[in-house]
Structures are given as structure tokens and as C-alpha cells.
Structure 1
Amino acid sequence: MNQIDRLPTEIRSPEPDSVALVSGGNSGIGFDIAQQLLDRGVNVWIGARDLGKGQRAAKEIGRSVQVVQLDVTDPSSVAAAVQQVGELDILINNAGVNPGGEDITGTTIEQLRTAYETNVFGLIAVTQGFLPALRLSAHPRIVNLSSGTGSLTWNNSPNPQFDWEQVQGGGLAYRSSKTAVNAVTLLTAQTLGQGFKVNALAPGLRRTNLIAGMTVGGDPAEAATGAIRLALLPDDGPTGALWSWDGTRAPW
């Protein structure tokens, strides 16, 4: 896999008929990713578990975005979305949940199952479902939304991104699921080879509904810009890595 430390500044201009799917695109970072892809001339599908919320998001965007019902934990929903979307060049696996829980002493097995069903198994199911379409693309790109809190290196050493007095050992369900996303990203990139660009994004702490009542964190649109850089990588761009939202390489 590529060993560069920073993403190239060049962003590839997509073909006019390029198609992207953003799972969980009706809110948060996914909503901003959809808008920014549209700004670049990409044809965008918003995948929403609740079709009504997806349609309201599309109305808010106010442009020719399309909506597909997509519950990443439901095989029949994934299969139906694959049929409805058809051709695909860019897959943004953005859908994710944080079911709460604390450290190993305060997290339930149900919370772990909830996190892994969406963040890991759902991501894999959607990727597998759309692989046949992506294989037909001239520039296939997969971007998996991960988290810096899933980096084992950062979890095992002081890092200014985190308040270690608060988070060390905590958030077991969410954070370990994002560590798994990082592993899935690397192994998928190794399997699919250089024709694909498969990368993970650490978006940083953002004001989204991932954590109920969250009022801290940066603008989701800033993180979305990082996803766009990965979605529109040039053909000689990197694959199989975890990238911070600012384009710097993050450690596994």
C-alpha cells in the first residue's frame, strides 16, 4: 500500500456521468459530502434508512440529488438499493451509530452488537453489494468513514486530539468498531488492488447527531471536504490508508 504522508493537492475532475452513493447521507457529515459532490458535478444518491428523512434532506439540498432507502443492517434493503442505483463510481460508507456504553466494565453486549451491525457488518454488506457496479467504473473509489478514536496507535500514546483523562479505555463499542473499519479498509484495498482507491477518513470531532445533544466539535462541512479529496483521488493517488480530515496520514 502507498506510504505517502499527505494526500495530493490535486483533485480529479469527475466525468459528467459519475455516480456516487452516500450512505447515511440525510444528515451530519454525509449530508455535507452529498452537497460537495454535487458541487463537483457528480450525480449523487443519498442512502437513508428512513426514506422520509432522505426526501426531506434532498428537498433541503434543492438540487438533482436522488434518494434511495438504505438500511445497511437489512440485506433486503441493501439488495434493493443496489438494483435501484445501478451504475456506481464512488461509494461513501458514511452510515454509522454510537450506541453509547463506557469501558469494558460498563458496555453491554447489545451495545457492541448495535455498533458492529451498522459500523462494520453494514459497511461490508454495502461494499459487497456494490462491488459489481464499482468494478465497471473507470475510477472506482471507496471511502469509509472511520474515527481517530479507532487508531490503536493514538489510543496507546498521548495525542492532542483527545482528552485522555476522559476517553482512555472508554467508548468501547464505538471506538473498537472503528478500529475494525480501519482493518476492513486495509484488507479491502489489498484485495481490490491499485485500480481501486479504498481509504478511511478520520473526520475529527464534529457537531452531528452521532452523540445525542452534542454541542461541541467542528463544522461537519470541513470533514466532508476531506472525504471529497478521497472520493476524487487521481489514478496515481494512495489506497489502503487512514487519513485525517486535513489530508495528513493517520496511524493505524
Structure 2
Amino acid sequence: MTTTLITGASRSLGLETTRRLIDAGHTVYAGMRDPSTGDAARALGAHVLQLDVTDTASVESAVAQLPALDVLVNNAGILGTARDVDALDADAMTAVLDTNVVGIVRVTQAALPLLRRSSNPVVVNVASGVGWPRFLSTEGTDEFPILAVPYAASKAAVITLTVQYAKNLPTIRVNASDPGYTATDFNRHTGHQTVTEGTDATVALATLGPDGPTGEFHNRAGRIEF
């Protein structure tokens, strides 16, 4: 049995990833800041855990409740309040980085002892094409119109930390996924992809075997070349 922890699992991409991995036979622990919002995850058969990625004590408590861990999906993230430079200040930047980047480090570091005991350990960091400079700077892409600095910078950092974790952990498959422009609360459901399409890359990477790739960035079409 594959035991999986998903952060930010109460809704949208996290909840759909929970559903799909349960359907694939995983025992899923659904981490979320407020367990009272976890009824949908419970209805799917997930084990709901209180897990706030910005709180080290919360992360350590959640990981301590896991009997084992084979797959970690670092999905939790926030868009932030600064949509352009005029709204940007240091506090807005720090809040996004703390959740989207440092949060991944908190959870991954806490989970490493369990992952190292697994026969097929996998980590998937949910990034975004908004963190990919080529997409941001190419007219006609979904990402080009985005002006927000914190979110884009945080997702660029997620891609880079994924590569570095993969180099440091050669026995663990560590990859980043790009959900693409998916209809979620983040974009007021304006995205042109469904949440199922938006989780294709994450689910594919979460179900890798020991011979799968590591240190890569994938969308639903496959690897995004560096």
C-alpha cells in the first residue's frame, strides 16, 4: 500500500489530487490548515490532518501521525495580495515566499526520515508555468499577462529547489508539476482547464516507479525543457 501526504488538500487541485490518488490505490493523508473544511476529503476516504505549512510545530505534529510515507505532494500555496508592483511591499513578498517556498522546505525536511524508509519514495512540488521565465516573457502564453511579482518568484524558486533536492536525494524521485491555467479559486474559475486536467502532471509524477525521472519540471503534456 502506498501512503501519501498531500498539503493544501481541502479544495481545488489538492482535493482533486486526493481523489485521483485514492482511486489509484493510495492511502491519502490530506493536510489542511483547518480540518473543519475537510469534509470533502473525508468523503473521498482520506485521513484529514491539521497541517499549516507556515507553522513548524503543525508540520511536525502532522508528520508524526503518519504510519509511513511513500509519496509527498507539496501542493499548498497562496497567490498573495500584490497583483502588480504598485501593490507590492516586503510583507506581501514574505508572506507568499513563506507559504509557497519555505513551506515546502518545512514539510519536506520533516518528512525525509519517513521517505528514506520507503522502497519507492517520491516528492512532487506543485509549481507553475508562472514561475518559468520563458513563458512569462513570451507573448501569447497564458503566463505572459501576469504582473504579480511574489507568486511568480515563489514558483520559480519551487522549480529551482526541486532540482537541488533531486541532486541531494538521488534515491528519491523529486519533480515539479505545472498545473497550467486551471479553473480554480485562484483565478475566479477563469482557467480553461478542468481541475482533473490541472492535476494530470501531479498525479503522473506522484505515481512514478523507481526508474522514473527526477529533478524535472512537467506539465500534462510531459517534460518542460530547461
Same fold (TM over 0.5): yes
**Sequence identity percentage:** 34
- Among 15, 19, 44, which residue is 1:31 paired with? 15
- 1:146 is aligned with what amino acid? A
How many angstroms apart in 1 are the aligned matches of 2:192 and 2:99?
Answer: 23
Q: 1:219 to 1:80 in 2, by over 3 A?
A: same
How many angstroms apart in 2 are the aligned matches of 1:46 and 1:198?
Answer: 20
Aligned residue number for residue 129 of structure 1: 110
State the Cα distance separating 1:185 from its structure 2 match.
Answer: 0.3
> Relative contact order (C-alpha < 8 Å, sep 6+): which is higher?
1
Q: 1:251 to 1:106 in 2, by over 3 A?
A: farther
How many angstroms apart in 2 are the aligned matches of 1:47 and 1:202?
Answer: 20
Instruction: Check the 8 A contact 1:48/1:67 in 2, yes or no.
Output: yes
Aligned residue number for residue 219 of structure 1: 194
Instruction: Check the 8 A contact 1:153/1:251 in 2, yes or no.
Output: no
Aligned residue number for residue 203 of structure 1: 179
State the Cα distance separating 1:159 from its structure 2 match.
Answer: 5.1
Which TM-score applies when normalising by structure 2? Answer: 0.94
How many angstroms apart in 2 are the aligned matches of 1:19 and 1:88?
Answer: 5
Q: Which residues in structure 2 correspond to 1:1-252 (within 5 Å)?
A: 17-54=1-38, 56-61=39-44, 63=45, 65-158=46-139, 160-162=141-143, 164=144, 166-167=145-146, 170-193=147-170, 195-211=171-187, 213-246=188-221, 248-252=222-226
Unaligned ranges ≥5, structure 2: none
Describe the superposition over 1:3-25 as per-residue Cα deviations: whole angstroms up to 9, x where unpaired: xxxxxxxxxxxxxx210001011
Which TM-score applies when normalising by structure 1? Answer: 0.85
- 1:242 is aligned with what amino acid? F
Describe the superposition over 1:138-170 as per-residue Cα deviations: whole angstroms up to 9, x where unpaired: 0000000000010122223345333x3x32xx1
- 2:101 is aligned with what amino acid? V
- 2:183 is aligned with what amino acid? R
The aligned length equals 226
Instruction: Check the 8 A contact 2:179/2:200 in 1, yes or no.
Output: no
